Amino acid sequence: MKLKLPLLASLLFSQLPAQAENPGANAFYASSQDLPWKKVFQYSGTDDWTEDWFLDGLKADLRPSEKGLIFQAGHVRDDHASHAVLWTKREFQGDILVQYDYTRLDTVNWAVNILYLHAQGNGEDIFSRDIYQWREYREIPYMRHYFDNMNLLHISYAALGNDDDSSSEQYIHARRYPTGPNRTFPQTGLGERQPVGGFIIPGVTYEITAVKIGERLLFSVKPKGKDEEKRRSFIWDTSALDPVTQGRIGLRHMWTRSARYADFRVSELGE
């Protein structure tokens, strides 16, 4: 008997833990790739980015190259104007699959890269659902402009603390915005930060996959061209929070962070 979605997805992932890096997380990745995805967006990174994307932040530098889009945040550490977020002009709906090649170009030991999924404004005051309408408010991309005023899912990766400890260890962490009267930024976390050791090494290209299916969120990474045994996958359960089902995708670089993006693809789950 052929199962209908989202029942199929529910059965595939119902036994997975709420937050983990383990064989179950890799099974989530493998099963998700067999679903009937339909590609709806693609950007190579080699041509004009302004046709498909728009930028928050005045100090970022974006340069298409033969190997992909080089995205450099502002160069001044602790300067909020040096943050930057690159947004898709298109919004996406329902369960989604995001895939891209990522190469970390910086060698700093602080701050994070963030993948935002299904971003919309919270609908209050000037913060309409369409975040493009209030982009001027984010010309200086303070983090609070995002976590206070947007509905979205957040995944920090290639992530380090903001202190000067040269031994700082990378971590990965997922969040659900927004904050609220009784919900602070730390409370947006889906579980705790997960230390990941030497996770994403500068100069190495990685195949990154993010999947949102129902109440499950996946982030999976593998060095490009390597065997599947090198894959590391992480899953989170979002069932305790209101769902996010539509919005833009964003790539955030905190101050001084730099990376190259290539073959950026988004697929939605078919009927």
Task: Return d(Cα 171, Cα 169) in angstroms, integer.
Answer: 6
**Residue 2: is its pLDDT beyond 60?**
no
Q: Which CATH class is domain 36-269?
A: mainly beta
Averaged pLDDT of the chain: 91
**Residue 208: is its pLDDT beyond 90?**
yes
Higher-pLDDT residue of 77, 162: 77
Q: How far is CA 64 from CA 61, 141, 207, in A?
A: 10, 22, 19
Q: pTM for this structure?
A: 0.92
Higher-pLDDT residue of 255, 16: 255
The dihedrals phi and psi of 269, each to the nearest 5 degrees, come to -80, 125
Of 191, 172, 122, nearest to 152 (Cα)? 122
Give the confidence band of 23 by pLDDT, cuts at 50, 70, 90. Answer: low
Segment 120-129 mean pLDDT: 97
pLDDT of residue 17: 45
Among 49-53, 117-121, 240-244, where is mean pLDDT lowest? 240-244
Domain ranges of the chain: 36-269
Give the confidence band of 167 by pLDDT, cuts at 50, 70, 90. Answer: low
**Residue 188: is its pLDDT beyond 80?**
yes
Compute how many other C-beta atoms are within 10 angstroms of the C-beta atom of residue 239: 10
pLDDT of residue 221: 97
Give the confidence band of 114 by pLDDT, cuts at 50, 70, 90. Answer: very high
